[in-house]
Amino acid sequence: MDANLDRDADLFQPPGPPEGEAGASVERLVAALKRRNRDRIVAEWLQPERSARTAAFPAGLDARIVDALGRRGIQRLYSHQAEAAAHALAGRHVVVATPTASGKSLCYHLPVLQGLLADGTRALYLFPTKALAQDQVAELLALNAAANLGVRAMTFDGDTPADARRVVREQGDIVVSNPDMLHQGILPHHPKWARFFESLRYVVIDELHAYRGVFGSHMANVIRRLRRVCRFHGREPVFILSSATIANPGELAERLVGAPVAAVTESGAPQGRRTVLVWNPPLVNADLNLRASARSQTARVARVAVKAGLASIVFANSRLTVEVLAKYLKDVFDRDPRRPPRVAAYRGGYLPGERRDKERKLRAGKIDCVVTTSALELGVDIGALDVAVLNGYPGSIAATWQRLGRAGRRGKPSLGVLVASSELIDQFLARHPEHLFGVSPEHARIDPDQLLILMDHLRCAAFELPFRAGETFGPHGLEPLLGYLVEHGVLHREGEAWHWIADSYPANAVSLRAVADGNFTVIDVTGGGQDILGEVDYSAAPLTLYEGAIYLHQARPWQVERLDWTGRKAFVTRTRADYYTDAIDYTRLKVLDVFGEARGAAAACAHGEVHVVRRVAGYKKIRYYTHENVGYGPVNLPDQEMHTTAVWWTLDKAVLDAAFPSRQAALDGFLGAARALHHVAALLSMSEPRDLGRAVGDGAATWSAVLGGDGRGSLRTLEGASLEPDADARRFRPTLHLYDNYPGGIGLSAPLFAQRDALVGRARDLVEACPCLAGCPACVGPVLAPREGLGAKQAALVVLGLLAGRSSVASGQPGEGGHGPH
């Protein structure tokens, strides 16, 4: 708590001169890195120092608040704080989008405290995670304690004991919660919260940028329900939102709140000089465009930074990579078991106590290097850091800046290094770093009216209050939707009202974050005990907890002995394995319904509804450091199924037969083209690659294509048996699918269908411009050795060329395919 107080005071104070020590060593580190790695640093970007712009407190601010701020060392506000507070105090919804650590929380604490002290009104604070909520309460309590404001700020989440809940409901001036709790615990019980809602004036939504995609679409509906319930209790609360830098904070806030929102985007906070380097691992095989692994380069940069005495944070894009990187760094810095560890891993799936402990150690400066996933991208308070190293592009420009922003506080110089992986997008950015620095960050998109999500929340809303004729809930006409629920027996229409009559609690059936809920518990049974080691969410479980998998926790390996799928438990034992495991999965897809179709000269593109089955077929064992494949194992798990929407392409049969010397070549071409299209589609739709799935099959789920270890495609039947491409010539009609990776679809496939020409064109340019000979991770995927006949890259170019509507006939000569008559 003391550490917290110090940090908060620092946050609002005008910047002092950069503290010589750390400042100078960041500069020294930058110079040293540049001297020794000239060929690896492909771009350098300098964000200049910026001094503070301040403003006076809003007129009429309660004297007790002014006193409390004064005691915390705050005499004036940053300009964005004053601007935001003025909007809120005037009753206008407002969103503040300024960089990490610019003092955003004061933007909402001020009007909230003013309303509370002057008029006795209350506030609801929503944070995307419980951890963030706890930090904000601590900060609020510090302000409260500074001048005895008498504010009762209370947390209401899944950990709040039953007997304390009544106290929170009736006495909380500021209730701090999260969307899930609002959705399942507060709104369905709103009559119990009547006193709270009757005096609710402000709703604060922090970390707005976290509410995109599916989660954001759910959140917009939760807010519709919240505003509906507030109206019932006679209030129209003012929303105050805060966001990291994204391209469209105002638009996102308006979509989320469903009303006009003023946007404050100019930060008045001071900032130290920041250097950002884009680092491309050296080429190890020019023909194959193969580069050294990003992991070893990331570990190397982090090692140099820690040795230079700089507090560092390393971001990786998967939990597995976090554990592998933590092991590499621990092997260097934590060899002596008698000394406290200097390196820590921090990711989702650790138990709350363990996470709190790590956060405390980080704030206290007891850890020199933390390796993490996006878990620390959000505003968890971990104190000041000097260097941020990103192992791979996080998938969006906004997330990149959010991560880089973790380094550099109090006007000190800082360093950010983005280490490009061999992935397609990373290599694209290494060639075109201007995309990172010049372009505005992504638009965060949500689709609150996605039918599946809307219907989920319509059920919940009907449970909370009967619907009346003429009422609205989003732009759709309500009557047919309510009629559907009547047909399903959950609503009853009586005159002009629809009442909930089912014997169920609909909010419990709706998870805001994942498709299926039910986290898996990982239980350590080494030595006969039963200790809970961690948690894995449902969607990640098939890929990480199959029997035989190596489960890494704090860089130490456990092996999964048994997986209880229905009981959501994995039993693990300690092991000394020198390898880790990576799941092999493949996807089958069946077209159910065609919404629209367009025909080109040789190809057809369509979009519609599909049924997707994902199966984990087995796993690879990969040895540390050498990354060699040391074995395979089978996996036997239930399939993951969903209905969603997709866009897909096929070639006319005659064209297909004429264009490729063999079916194998056609298959390689489709797989390579699918990979390029997938990544380009993610860029074009401003979503992340994992929001889309790709599959090559026949569109009827009789077979699907998978990529073997050698980079060549092979066919699998429904049962997973392999199939010769030439075995059944009549049925060979490869279809390339990109699907919306969420049940029901989140609205990505229709815009992709509309942009199909740009999509195919950009993918073709990308593959064509790649300097490799036959295919590499940066274009169509890694191919170990060019084969005879048509290479995978050339085959992909033929496919993309034909899809683009050009008549292209492959010659069958390596290196020439795809360059037929244009």
Partner 1 sequence: MDLTELRRRLGRPGFPPAAPPEGRGMADSDLLARLEAVRRRGQTAPMRREPALVDRLGGFELAPGVVEVVRRHALALRHGRVPLAWLAEIDGDRGGLLRWRGRLDPERLVFLDTETTGLAGGAGTVAFLIGVARLAAGTLQTRQWLLTAFSGEAALLDRLAVELGRDDVLVSFNGKSFDAPLINTRGRLLGRGEMLRGRAHIDLLHALRRGHARSLPDCRLKTAEGRLLGLDRGHDLPGDQAPAAWRDWLRDGYGARLNEVLAHNRADLLSTAALLAVLAGEGMPGPIFAAPS
Please tell me whether residue 189 binds partner 1 under the rule CB under 8 A. yes
**Dihedral Cα 52, 55, 58, 64, nearest 10 deg:** 60
Give the SS3 label for residue 116: helix
- CA 123 to chain CA centroid, nearest Å: 28
Q: Comparing C-alpha atoms, which of 384, 275, 279 is closest to residue 47?
A: 275
Q: What are 174's strand-pairing partners?
A: 123, 153
Please tell me whether residue 192 binds partner 1 under the rule CB under 8 A. yes
Residues 723-762 as x/- pattern, contact with partner 1 by CB under 8 A: --------------------xx------------------
> 451, 469, 532, 601: which one contacts partner 1 (CB under 8 A)?
451
Stretch of residues binding partner 1 (CB under 8 A), selected from 136-144, 347-355, 638-646, 652-660: 638-646
**Number of C-alpha atoms within 13 angstroms, CB side, residue 248?**
13
> 515, 577, 617, 773: which one contacts partner 1 (CB under 8 A)?
515
Q: Which is nearer to partner 1, 246 or 746 (CB)?
A: 746
Nearest approach in angstroms of CB 697 to partner 1 is: 16
Q: Which is nearer to partner 1, 261 or 510 (CB)?
A: 510
Q: How far apart are CA 774 and CA 769, in angstroms?
A: 12
Nearest approach in angstroms of CB 14 to partner 1 is: 50
Q: Which is nearer to partner 1, 303 or 590 (CB)?
A: 590
Nearest approach in angstroms of CB 592 to partner 1 is: 5
Q: Binding residues for partner 1, how many (CB under 8 A)?
A: 53
Q: Which is nearer to partner 1, 179 or 411 (CB)?
A: 179
Please tell me whether residue 641 binds partner 1 under the rule CB under 8 A. yes
> 594, 630, 727, 769: which one contacts partner 1 (CB under 8 A)?
594
Asked if 488 and 458 touch (Cβ cutoff 8 Å), the reply is no
Stretch of residues binding partner 1 (CB under 8 A), selected from 70-78, 605-613, 678-686, 773-781: 605-613
Please tell me whether residue 60 binds partner 1 under the rule CB under 8 A. no
Tokens of 386: 């000097």
CB atoms within 10 A of CB 401: 20
Q: Which is nearer to partner 1, 180 or 609 (CB)?
A: 609
Q: What is the largest CA-CA distance in the chain?
A: 84
Find the length of the chain: 822
**Dihedral Cα 392, 393, 399, 401, nearest 10 deg:** 90
> 82, 123, 446, 591: which one contacts partner 1 (CB under 8 A)?
591
Nearest approach in angstroms of CB 809 to partner 1 is: 33
Please tell me whether residue 625 binds partner 1 under the rule CB under 8 A. no
> 266, 593, 710, 728: which one contacts partner 1 (CB under 8 A)?
593
- CA 35 to chain CA centroid, nearest Å: 35
First to last CA, the chain: 68
Nearest approach in angstroms of CB 227 to partner 1 is: 16
Q: Which is nearer to partner 1, 229 or 810 (CB)?
A: 229
Q: Is 631 left (phi over 0), alpha (psi -120 to 50) or beta?
A: left
DSSP state of 395: S
Stretch of residues binding partner 1 (CB under 8 A), selected from 258-266, 328-336, 475-483, 789-797: 475-483
> 42, 145, 194, 332: which one contacts partner 1 (CB under 8 A)?
194
Asked if 283 and 291 touch (Cβ cutoff 8 Å), the reply is yes
Q: Which is nearer to partner 1, 437 or 484 (CB)?
A: 484
Q: Comparing C-alpha atoms, which of 714, 733, 596 is closest to residue 655?
A: 733
Q: Which is nearer to partner 1, 17 or 495 (CB)?
A: 495
Q: Which is nearer to partner 1, 480 or 821 (CB)?
A: 480
Q: What is the CA radius of gyration of the chain?
A: 28
Residue carrying structure tokens 């407190």: 57
Please tell me whether residue 191 binds partner 1 under the rule CB under 8 A. yes
> 117, 465, 647, 767: which one contacts partner 1 (CB under 8 A)?
465
Q: How far apart are CA 682 and CA 397, in angstroms?
A: 13
Q: Which is nearer to partner 1, 292 or 502 (CB)?
A: 502
Tokens of 208: 């707005």
Nearest approach in angstroms of CB 606 to partner 1 is: 10
Q: What is the DSSP string of 438-460?
A: TSPPPPP---TT-HHHHHHHHHH
Please tell me whether residue 196 binds partner 1 under the rule CB under 8 A. no
Please tell me whether residue 565 binds partner 1 under the rule CB under 8 A. no
- CA 796 to chain CA centroid, nearest Å: 30
Tokens of 52: 């503070």
Going through 528-671 in order, the beta strands assigned E by DSSP cover: 531-536, 550-553, 556-564, 569-574, 579-599, 603-623, 629-634, 640-651
Please tell me whether residue 222 binds partner 1 under the rule CB under 8 A. no
Q: Which chain residues interact with partner 1 by CB under 8 A?
A: 188-192, 194, 451-452, 455, 462-466, 476-477, 479-481, 483-484, 486-487, 489, 492-495, 497, 499-506, 515-516, 590-595, 608-609, 611, 641-643, 743-744
